Structure 1
Amino acid sequence: MNFLIISKYFYPQNRIASFRINAFAKYIRNAGHSVTVIAEGDHDMDTEWNGCKVSYVKNKIITESYLRDKIKRRKRWTVRRITASLLNRIFLDYNLFWGFRVFKKANKLFKENRYDVVLSSYMPISPHLAALNLQLAGHKFFWIADMRDEMSKHPYFSKKYKSAYIAIYERLFLKNADLVLSVSKPILDDFRKMHSSSNYLEVRNGYDYEEVYDVNFQSKFTMGYIGQFYDKIKPDNWFHAFSELISEGRIPKDSIIKIIGNNMKIKIPDNIINNVFEIESVPHDEAIRISTTEVDVLVMIHPLGRKGVYSGKIFDYLATNKPILALYDPDDVVGDLLRETRAGFTVKESDIEGIKSMILKCYSIWKNREVLPRDWNKIKQCRRFNQTKILLDYLSEHLPNQ
């Protein structure tokens, strides 16, 4: 089959969203199919990556690399950022003009090639709009709408006018797509409530490196968090619990917290200011190396409210053989996954005493040089290769003549 993938995020961007699309492209190509990707780039450019044709289309309003640089340098008010913010307020997507350029590029490619499958990935909405416009232009293909996140149910669209506005797009996409993907069953169930006649398939995120079975222990008890803090995802309660344990003498005073890749300003309690180390963003391979060799516990944080949110980092964490401490809803998908794989512990992000108890459990594992009895067979199902195979098996069954 001939695949066209449309996504804002793709190699070399250092983001979970990019890693998902990278895996789709790589493993669909490795399965013997032809793959073309249209993605955002710093320049308009046609190239190749892992046997896939890639067309980078520049976002002339603001590129992802420009935005991340300004966030890192905490330069909030630039002309481009103000313009993007205004477009977001009006259209809920500052990428719409980029999306129009993507449609023009895709339309040109369709005139040169026949694509059997178009896979577009949200968010933002622009890739789906490009795919929808290709349909309206008369091109025939099997459309896969990849929904990494919720749409109208997403907290970002919590204001009623935003939720109602984005729901118009949501219904259009669900109605016209031949297959809707998302990363978890709860998110897919919400989409089903909005449009029950669509076809839905759960394809989770995953990890894309060899499992690490050997375990090393740091000389000082070390907890690590890899990634950004943003909105309500903050380390405040984790720091509070850690701070109290230090003050109470229940964990060593030289215990360490490493934060890797966060650009948001964080508040650190005075008594642990010398225990917390902030490290700048690193390439994904280096983040994996740090997680397997420089920490004893891997932490992830999400407050109560949203259902079905795994966070892509959990899958990278799974294959490290280090205990995972998830400050999450124990009754949601992360809690279920950690229980099934025996890879860690879950506690409510708001439960300070519960967090302290779980930190102590992780400290005991470090102190006694223990290794959790992971279920590696279940963990290996989370390899990105195996998750992409779920999609390819579906297509093989439903598009047998392609």
Structure 2
Amino acid sequence: MKKKILIVSYYWPPAGGPGVQRWLKFTKYLPEYGFEPFVYIPENPSYPILDDSLEKEISSKVKILKNRIWEPYQIAEKISKKNKNYKAGQFETEKKESLISQLSVFIRGNFFIPDARKYWIQPSINFLEKFLNNHEIDYLVTTGPPHSMHMIGLGLKERFPLLKWIADFRDPWTQISYYSQLKLTSWADKKHKFLEKKVLQKADLILSTSYTDKVNFEKLGAKKVSCITNGFDSESQINLPSSSLFILSYVGMLETLRNPTNLWEVLQDLLLNNENFKKDFQLRFVGKIADSILEKIKHSSLKDHTTILGYVSHEEAIQEMNQSNLLLITNFPEEKSKGIIPGKLFEYLASNKTILSLGYPDSDVKKILQETQAGEHFTFDDYDKLKSFILDEYLKWKNNLPTNKVYSTQKFHRKELTKKLVECLEGL
């Protein structure tokens, strides 16, 4: 007999971005392991990014439940356009932040606890209570952020104590990189931490997406934690003809706080001192890039070697990865980024292209790159090593030497990760 699993998620196609990928893929493969998935989502969400191409990836075996949501973002975005960025978890640090921006962040952190989807919590608990009374559900999954999803899980666990509840943290709550920028009062800080601890202690299983987050959740009092990283699916493993240029691509969103200034300096150095490199090199941005980064590039020698594609569909992003020679991934240089593993890393791995990573010295990304031998990790202070690495990769390409490898990445395939998830569920 099939086991039934109910997933509570804010993000679902046509939402774009990395937040939607995780459970879209789990629900694709769960039926192969004897599970019948139900997904509960908002009927009228306010998504920061749309990608209609993802809708065709929804498994026909998934049953969708919808309920209307009220969100304050329509009002907030009229006050300040930056509230659309805050909705997506983007908090830029500016030297002269406007009073309206400061006020928006203050309100977001102190009045909308845990987040602006809080008004969906009680209606969802009431809606799903009726559903659970009429359906024999074996497992309840809540995936956040937004962490209001976990508050829905907490409310349902209190009403159905025998229901196995899994709280999936795609990102941490109070330990996320921008938490310190929310301008929290001491009361609000305590409230966030109180609710977080309650979820960590009441859930039957906590899922983390990084090794460091797993350790941190255990320190915060979670009784059982498993790490299941994000991954890649079969459509990421495609072969495309090579370009006539040596291409370094960054795919995804790049904020000011993750701006790899040393890399831009290295590239300008190579353009200035290597005529062949200057003739062959192209830098490509696929996704939303902070205006401050683009402005500096426009006023540098990189300008004539840079292509900016903006946000593209997931399919197009994968094609761009597969046509590149080097794939760039960056993280915050501070220790708080140690456990951040951007979802695109795994699709980078699937492309079998060389990965260039910058960030905190002892990071989970570095651990994965060392394990798979898929690239090199550098700090924001490295210059000579970074320059040497790029030049070596360029010369391999220029001399038609093999640069692509078949990395040991199969453990990060979505089907393998779903198998690991099933083992965790059956162990409860």
Change (3 A) 1:56 1:370: farther
Q: Distance in 1 between matches of 2:119 and 2:199?
A: 19
Aligned-partner SS, 1:350: coil
Q: Which residue of 2 aligns with 1:202?
A: 227
Deviation at 1:211, TM superposition (A): 6.0
Alignment of 1:33-48 (within 5 A): 33-42=35-44
Give 1:183's aligned residue. 209
Cα deviation for residue 365 of structure 1 reads 2.8
In structure 1, the residue matched to 2:25 is: 23
Partner of 1:226: 251
Q: CA offsets per residue over residues 197-233 of structure 1, 9 Å max, x none?
A: x111111100012564757432121110110012512
- Letter matched to residue 341 of structure 1: T
Percent identity among equivalent residues? 25
Residue 299 of structure 2 corresponds to residue 274 of structure 1: no
For 2:374 and 2:256, locate their aligned partners in 1 and report how far apart those are by CA, in whole Å: 27
Query: Cα 1:71–1:353, aligned 2, differ >3 Å: closer, same or farther?
Result: farther
Structure 1 residues 285 and 55, CA gap change in structure 2 (3 angstroms): same
Query: Which of residues 216, 237, 242 in structure 1 aligns to 2:262?
Result: 237
Q: Is the 8 A contact 2:5 2:138 kept in 1?
A: yes
Choose from 317, 321, 329 the match for 1:291: 321
Give the TM-score taking structure 2 as reference length: 0.81
Could you list the runs of 5+ residues in structure 1 that have no partner in the other structure? none
Taking structure 1 as reference, are residues 274 and 8 closer, same or farther at Cα in structure 2, changes over 3 Å only?
same
- CA distance in structure 2 between the aligned counterparts of 1:34 and 1:291, rounded to whole angstroms: 33
Partner of 2:331 in structure 1?
302
The aligned counterpart of 2:91 is none
2: distance between equivalents of 1:264 and 1:280? 11
User: Aligned residue for 2:140?
Assistant: 118
Give 1:362 deviation, angstroms: 2.3
The residue number in structure 2 matching 1:86 is 107
Summarize the alignment of residues 302-321 of structure 1 with structure 2, pairs less than 5 Å apart: 302-304=331-333, 305=335, 306-321=337-352
2:218 aligned partner, one-letter code: R
Normalization by structure 1: what TM-score?
A: 0.86
Q: Give secondary structure in 1 for the equivalent of 2:178.
A: helix
> Does the CA contact (< 8 Å) of 2:83 and 2:104 recur in 1?
no
**Structure 1 residue 122 displacement after superposition:** 1.7
Q: 2:153 aligns with which of 131, 135, 151?
A: 131
Post-superposition offset of 1:19: 0.3
Contact 1:110 1:139 in 2 (8 A): no
Query: Which ranges of structure 2 fall in alignment gaps of 5 or more residues?
Result: 47-57, 88-97
What are the residue-to-residue correspondences of 1:1-400 with 2, within 5 Å? 1-42=3-44, 49-61=59-71, 86-90=107-111, 91-138=113-160, 140-158=162-180, 161=186, 163-195=189-221, 198-210=223-235, 212=237, 214=239, 216-249=241-274, 252-254=277-279, 255-265=281-291, 266=293, 267-268=296-297, 269-293=299-323, 295-304=324-333, 305=335, 306-372=337-403, 374=405, 376=407, 378-398=408-428
Counterpart residue identity of residue 110, structure 2: R
- In the TM superposition, residue 13 of structure 1 has moved relative to its aligned partner by 1.5
> CA 1:190/1:393 → structure 2, altered by over 3 Å: closer, same or farther?
same
Shift of 1:251: 5.7
Partner of 2:93: none
Aligned residues: 387
The CA deviation string for residues 248-276 of structure 1, in whole angstroms up to 9 with x for no partner, is 22762241111011153123142111211
Between the aligned partners of 1:394 and 1:342, the Cα distance in structure 2 is: 28
- Match of 2:257, SS? coil
1:160-214 alpha-carbon deviations (Å, 9 max, x no partner):
7465432211210111000111012211111111115x11111110001256475
From the superposition, tell whether residues 113 and 181 of structure 1 become closer, same or farther in structure 2 (CA, over 3 Å): same
Letter in 2 for 1:252: F
Amino acid at match of 2:121: G
Letter in 2 for 1:170: E
**For 1:118, what is the secondary structure of its paired residue?**
strand
Q: Deviations over 1:307-361 (max 9, x none)?
A: 2221111100001121111113343221121122111111113323333222223
In 2: Cα distance, 1:284 partner to 1:136 partner: 38
Give the AA of the match of 1:120: T
**How many Å separate the matches in 2 of 1:264 and 1:58?**
33
The Cα of 1:120 is off from its aligned counterpart by 0.5
Determine if contact 2:114/2:192 at 8 Å carries over to the other structure: yes
The amino acid of 2:397's aligned partner reads W
CA shift in 2, pair 1:231/1:75, >3 Å: closer
| Cα pair 1:341 1:374 within 8 Å, conserved | no
User: Matches of 2:207 and 2:246 in 1, distance apart?
Assistant: 40
* Distance change >3 Å, CA 102–CA 30, structure 1 → 2: farther
Moved more, 119-128 or 35-44: 35-44
Q: Per the alignment, do residues 369 and 167 of structure 1 end up closer, same or farther by CA in structure 2, a change over 3 Å counting?
A: farther
Q: Compute the displacement of 1:287 (Å).
A: 0.7
SS where residue 426 of structure 2 aligns? Answer: helix
Cα distance in 2 for partners of 1:50, 1:355 equals: 47
Deviation of the 1:63 alpha carbon:
6.8
C-alpha separation between the residues in 2 aligned to 1:71 and 1:31?
43
